[in-house]
């Protein structure tokens, strides 16, 4: 897989007037962007416009002395008064493999020979550049990039940036340069803290960094993270040692106690040729969706300090480094409508309908929203231009509105007054609203889910039969499934033969473990994993029913908010559970044989187990003994073996379980695993490892 170019379609500016207008738009966008305000353009649109301006300038040399394209931050960064030790520059971009090769060739022309010292490849962290000055081991000052020669003093952030310690173990004096950003987790927290203080939500993590660096008198502090990608001498000090390579400088910085790009899950890689660099770029691109922070590209640098010095600096960027841009994962589009659907547990799920927009290789026209409180916190209006985020195979989500672009007739997103499914009352006691009928409201999705392979596994009971049974009034809750006669089934299934087959399946379904039966009930917050934990902890349905909210707190993942909800909903479902018991459905969880050594106490994840301490990522269809194991069955298996199931391959992954793909082309996860030296196991080999658990 090759990382796809971010911008494929180039705009063409037809007239000098269009060119002038484009420059004005760029400048206005940059001013907002670098000040941490909402830009009227998303990055992809900004980049496309900038490329058009560059193309016009190339065709009309000397035409525009006032153009921002040659300046750091388009000359639009807020003015600062702290002089940089040496200029702190931006990076030039490439958008594809050919351009990377061309960059290598241009570097060779500057050096008068091909690059000999090799290259480094590291993530392009999507935050804001800062220079942090350590004097005698103490963090003395933090300065923004500004216009590249002068930046703003933002030392007020000292103490709230992970990776940038206030005190080093040794009394070193030097300046470290790197990126400050909000990890996804820190960003979520930041949004909550900000909302709690009545602030408007940040449009995205990058924008939040720019704003947070500049905000000196906020009543709250937001934690951010720093990773260094360079260091220079300060006050004539002798650190970092000169003459080394880029990788050596970062290693020295790391030893001093400051985090570097090498410490990120994407890592810092040293390679000899630009072809190898391209492979690393692709590998990091494949990791992107699973990274705990945003990246907008991959940076390739000449590793040798001598070659860096020989290549030199331009006005806007160094010639010895290049940013390989990845496609934007965030775009702006218009929020047209919000639809509400009732899920299997009766929860009302809002979905945003958007003007279609291309993000990360697919067209997005729907995105998830969380709940009414969250919609209100974000201040979303119908008609708003909103930022939408999507990476890899995650479900697109609406991040925030751009209030500056709100049309006059925009209205706050209307919230439903009645259940959109049954028109009944809504229970608003929790942040996630729910039909007062609970799982009883949306019977079809509940029964379809219950019949699914990962739950009661009633083969042959698909959507159509479920609807037919409900329409005929034969099924009014999940328990009714088990009292259906063969004749009734035959009627719904359309033939006696199929009816008999279904009856056989129902007989099997009666024997499923408690965890699956419990999951079929549709209690809020009890998906497959939570149902399994509950069943393993209590052992029998009777014990779960007898449990108080306090008893439930002993189960991992159940907190004081969820516990009473589970107790109340289970109590409300008493008639259904009684009917299930009467129909002879199994109500116990089989004892798990403790895999090895330590017996599993209270059904908690075993301490030992063949996968103890391991993180396992699974991709593709399983084969051999694991044939038919879906994602949740695999996760269950991994957890039972004492391991942790991961979703994306990164440096912490122990194994990737992947069937060799039919076309012979490895999946992006397999490519990433190979680059990171993660062991790849076939489903057969993995089954072998867990043989004791599969019998």
Task: Report H helices in 69-158.
Answer: 97-111
| 441 has binding-site annotation | yes
3-state secondary structure (DSSP) of residue 502:
helix
Stretch of residues binding ligand NAD (CB under 6 A), selected from 79-87, 120-128, 232-240, 528-536: 120-128
Note whether 43 binds ligand NAD by CB under 6 A: yes
Whichever of 15 and 429 has its CB closer to Zn ion, that residue is 429
State the residues that interact with Zn ion by CB under 5 A. Answer: 419, 421-422, 424, 435, 441
Q: Give residues 54-93 in contact with ligand NAD (rule: CB under 6 A).
A: 73, 90-91
CB of 338 to Zn ion, least distance (A): 18
Tokens of 36: 């941490």
Task: Choose from ligand NAD, Zn ion, none: what does 526 bind? Cβ within 5-8 Å by kind.
Answer: none
Whichever of 43 and 480 has its CB closer to ligand NAD, that residue is 43
From the CA atom positions of the chain, what is the Rg in Å?
29
Note whether 330 binds ligand NAD by CB under 6 A: no
Number of H helices, E strands in the chain: 23, 25
CB of 177 to ligand NAD, least distance (A): 8
Return the DSSP state at 94.
E
Whichever of 90 and 245 has its CB closer to ligand NAD, that residue is 90
Q: What is the 3-state secondary structure (H, E, C) of 550-607?
A: HHHCCCCCCCCCHHHHHHHHHHHCHHHHHHHHHCCCCCECCCCCCCCCCCCHHHCCCC
CB of 313 to ligand NAD, least distance (A): 13
Note whether 39 binds ligand NAD by CB under 6 A: yes
- 82-83 and 92-94 beta bridge pairing: unpaired
CA–CA separation, 293 vs 63, rounded Å? 40
User: Could you tell me how many residues of this chain bind ligand NAD (CB under 6 A)?
Assistant: 22
Report CA torsion sign: 148, 149, 155, 159: positive
Q: Are 449 and 347 within 8 A, CB to CB? A: no
Task: Choose from ligand NAD, Zn ion, none: what does 435 bind? Cβ within 5-8 Å by kind.
Answer: Zn ion
Number of residues that make up the chain:
695
Whichever of 122 and 536 has its CB closer to ligand NAD, that residue is 122
Q: Are 12 and 19 within 8 A, CB to CB? A: no
Give the E-state strand segments of 475-547 in sequence order: none
Distance of CA 617 to the CA centre of its chain: 16
Q: Which of 22, 299, 329, 479 binds ligand NAD (CB under 6 A)?
A: 299
Distance of CA 548 to the CA centre of its chain: 36
CA–CA separation, 648 vs 669, rounded Å? 7
Return the DSSP state at 641.
T
Stretch of residues binding ligand NAD (CB under 6 A), selected from 118-126, 387-395, 438-446, 619-627: 118-126
Task: Choose from Zn ion, ligand NAD, none: what does 422 bind? Cβ within 5-8 Å by kind.
Answer: Zn ion
| 175 has binding-site annotation | no
| Residue 216 annotated to the active site | no
Q: Give residues 199-258 in contact with ligand NAD (rule: CB under 6 A).
A: 229
| 419 has binding-site annotation | yes
Q: Are 157 and 224 within 8 A, CB to CB? A: yes
Task: Choose from ligand NAD, Zn ion, none: what does 441 bind? Cβ within 5-8 Å by kind.
Answer: Zn ion
Buried b vs exposed e over 578-600: b needs ≥16 C-beta within 10 Å? ebbeeeebbbebeeeeebeeeeb
Residues 6+ apart with CB under 8 A from 510: 482, 583, 584, 585, 586
Task: Choose from ligand NAD, Zn ion, none: what does 533 bind? Cβ within 5-8 Å by kind.
Answer: none
| 90 has binding-site annotation | yes
Catalytic position from the list 124, 390, 437, 562? 124
CA–CA separation, 259 vs 250, rounded Å? 9
| 562 has binding-site annotation | no
Note whether 124 binds ligand NAD by CB under 6 A: yes
CB of 384 to ligand NAD, least distance (A): 17
The helix (H) or strand (E) run that includes residue 180 is strand 174-181
Stretch of residues binding ligand NAD (CB under 6 A), selected from 25-33, 111-119, 334-342, 603-611: 25-33
CA–CA separation, 553 vs 147, rounded Å? 54
Q: Give residues 166-195 in contact with ligand NAD (rule: CB under 6 A).
A: 179
Residues belonging to the binding site for NAD(+) are 43-47, 90-91, 122, 145, 179, 301, 325
Return the active site residues.
124
Residues that bind ligand NAD (CB under 6 A): 29-30, 33, 39, 41-43, 46-47, 73, 90-91, 122, 124-125, 129, 145, 179, 229, 261, 299, 323
Residues belonging to the binding site for Zn(2+) are 419, 422, 441
Residues belonging to the binding site are 43-47, 90-91, 122, 145, 179, 301, 325, 419, 422, 441
């Amino acid at each position: 897989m090759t990382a796809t170019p971010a911008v494929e379609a180039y705009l063409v500016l037809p007239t000098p007037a269009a060119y002038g207008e484009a420059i004005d738009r760029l400048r206005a966008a940059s001013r907002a962007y670098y000040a941490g305000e909402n830009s009227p353009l998303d990055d992809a649109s900004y980049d496309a416009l900038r490329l058009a301006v560059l193309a016009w300038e190339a065709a009309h040399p000397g035409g525009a002395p006032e153009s921002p394209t040659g300046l750091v931050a388009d000359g639009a960064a807020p003015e600062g008064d702290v002089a940089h030790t040496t200029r702190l520059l931006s990076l030039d971009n490439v958008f594809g493999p050919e351009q990377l090769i061309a960059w290598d060739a241009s570097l060779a022309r500057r050096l008068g020979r091909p690059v000999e010292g090799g290259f480094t490849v590291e993530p392009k962290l999507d935050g804001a550049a800062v220079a942090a000055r350590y004097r005698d081991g103490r963090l003395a000052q933090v300065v923004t990039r500004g216009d590249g020669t002068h930046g703003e003093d933002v030392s007020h952030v000292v103490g709230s940036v992970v990776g940038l310690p206030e005190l080093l173990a040794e009394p070193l004096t030097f300046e470290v340069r790197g990126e400050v950003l909000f990890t996804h987790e820190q960003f979520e927290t930041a949004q909550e803290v900000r909302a709690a203080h009545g602030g408007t939500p940040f449009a995205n993590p990058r924008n939040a960094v720019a704003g947070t660096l500049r905000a000196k008198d906020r009543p709250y502090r937001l934690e951010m993270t720093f990773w260094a990608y360079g260091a220079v001498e300060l006050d004539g000090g002798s650190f970092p040692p000169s003459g080394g390579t880029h990788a050596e400088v970062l290693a020295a910085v790391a030893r001093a106690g400051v985090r570097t790009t090498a410490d990120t899950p994407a890592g810092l890689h040293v390679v000899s040729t630009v072809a190898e660099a391209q492979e690393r770029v692709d590998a990091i691109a494949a990791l992107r969706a699973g990274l705990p922070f945003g990246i907008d590209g991959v940076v390739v640098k000449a590793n040798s300090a001598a070659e860096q010095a020989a290549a030199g600096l331009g006005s806007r960027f160094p010639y010895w480094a290049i940013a390989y841009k990845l496609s934007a994962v965030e775009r702006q589009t218009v929020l047209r409508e919000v639809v509400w659907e009732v899920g299997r547990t009766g929860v009302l799920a809002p979905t945003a309908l958007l003007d279609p927009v291309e993000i990360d290789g697919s067209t997005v026209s729907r995105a998830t929203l969380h709940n009414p409180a969250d919609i209100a916190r974000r201040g979303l209006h119908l008609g708003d231009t909103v930022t939408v985020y999507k990476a890899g195979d995650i479900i697109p989500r609406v991040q925030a509105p751009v209030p500056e672009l709100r049309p006059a007739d925009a209205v706050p997103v209307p919230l439903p007054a009645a259940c959109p499914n049954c028109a009944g009352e809504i229970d608003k006691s929790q942040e996630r609203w729910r039909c007062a009928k609970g799982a009883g409201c949306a019977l079809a999705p509940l029964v379809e889910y219950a019949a699914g392979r990962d739950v009661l596994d009633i083969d042959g009971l698909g959507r159509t039969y479920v609807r037919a049974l409900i329409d005929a009034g034969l099924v009014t809750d999940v328990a009714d499934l088990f009292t259906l006669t063969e004749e009734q089934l035959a009627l719904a299934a359309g033939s006696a033969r199929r009816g008999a087959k279904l009856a056989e399946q129902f007989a099997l379904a009666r024997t499923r473990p408690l965890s699956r039966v419990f999951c079929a009930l549709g209690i809020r917050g009890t998906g497959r994993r939570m149902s399994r934990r509950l069943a393993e902890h209590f052992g029998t349905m009777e014990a779960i029913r007898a449990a108080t909210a306090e008893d439930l707190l002993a189960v991992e993942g159940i907190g004081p908010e969820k516990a009473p909800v589970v107790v109340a909903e289970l109590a409300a479902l008493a008639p259904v559970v009684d009917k299930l018991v009467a129909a002879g459905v199994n109500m116990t969880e089989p004892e798990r044989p403790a895999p090895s050594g330590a017996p599993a106490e209270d059904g908690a994840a075993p301490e030992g187990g063949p996968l103890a301490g391991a993180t396992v990522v699974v991709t593709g269809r399983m084969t051999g003994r694991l044939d038919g194991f879906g994602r949740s069955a695999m996760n269950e298996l991994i957890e039972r073996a004492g391991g942790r199931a991961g979703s994306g391959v990164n440096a912490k992954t122990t194994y990737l379980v992947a069937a060799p793909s039919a076309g012979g082309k490895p999946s992006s996860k397999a490519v990433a695993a190979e680059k990171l030296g993660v062991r790849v196991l076939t489903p057969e080999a993995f089954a072998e490892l867990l043989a004791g658990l599969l019998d």
